Amino acid sequence: MSNSTVAVPVELIKDGAVACLYLNRPDVLNALSDDLIKTLADRLEEINSDDQIGCAVIFGRGRAFAAGADIKGMARATQEEMQKSDRLALWNRLWKFQKPLIAAVHGFALGGGCELAMGCDIIIAAEDAEFGQPEILIGVMPGAGGTQRLARAIGKYRAMEIILTGQRFSAQNAHDWGLVNRVVPKEILESEARGLARRIASQPRLAVLKSKEAILRAQDVELAQGLTFERQLFYSLFSTCDQKEGMAAFLEKRPPQWKNK
């Protein structure tokens, strides 16, 4: 038997109620191979059903968050193969994650890397982070949500220029345009992201899940429909112990003890 350990493409480290996921192909700037995306989806599904975990964070190991889909893995593919394998449909498993998901971005977040960050719920960027959708420079276009999510996040006109030129943009620009929540020095990226995740994980879980669900719905439906959906979720929380506890604690002027039920 060999002693050599095979590096896993995504490492999961649990830190109390926070799950930290590390994209782990540093030699290729965490290029997002099908295997990596599948492993990430497997881990997220595992975290989804882990009652101990209230929030997850994705980090990149090495000098990048992720420099995009793995070009090597698709350079020679034909249209027929791409369509038949529908490999990007794998990514839909990521977007089904129900708990809050934070992207902690340093270095490059390009192509699929930028799309992965944008598919998270909150983005924290290190000062050195560089975002972009450079697919045009290799003869294609974004395929894992870039045209849709970037346009929604920063507006049609900026998204158009970025996608059509492939130009990268800085963490500061991303922040100014509303794509990232905050920009922090690289040395504290990990502690900031874990700190925020801990804070979210300490809130009553069911109210967190329903809030996320309602906010995501805001992107897809017109306001009247979104308001009805939100109201129904709001009412549904009155079947939880945490609603009784939260409101009783407020009236009794004491801190609440969440049961996550």
Q: Is 206 in the site for ligand CAA (CB under 6 A)?
A: no
Q: Is 67 in the site for ligand CAA (CB under 6 A)?
A: yes
- Binding residue for ligand CAA, selected from 8, 71, 153, 249, defined by CB under 6 A: 71
Alpha helices in the chain (DSSP H): 34-48, 79-85, 112-118, 146-154, 156-165, 171-176, 189-201, 205-218, 223-236, 241-251
Write out the binding residues for ligand CAA, residues 170-189 only, by CB under 6 A.
none
Alpha-carbon span 166 to 123, nearest angstrom: 21
Stretch that binds ligand CAA, among 54-62, 64-72, 183-191, 197-205 (CB under 6 A): 64-72
Alpha-carbon span 19 to 47, nearest angstrom: 7
Stretch that binds ligand CAA, among 52-60, 79-87, 136-144, 148-156 (CB under 6 A): 136-144
Stretch that binds ligand CAA, among 4-12, 15-23, 134-142, 218-226 (CB under 6 A): 134-142
Amino acid identity, position 125? A
Q: Is 69 in the site for ligand CAA (CB under 6 A)?
A: yes
Q: Count of residues binding ligand CAA (CB under 6 A)? A: 21
Q: Is 134 in the site for ligand CAA (CB under 6 A)?
A: yes
Helix, strand, coil percent content, the chain, rounded in steps of 5: 50, 15, 35
Q: Is 111 in the site for ligand CAA (CB under 6 A)?
A: yes
The torsion angles phi and psi of 61, rounded to 5 degrees, stand at -85, 150
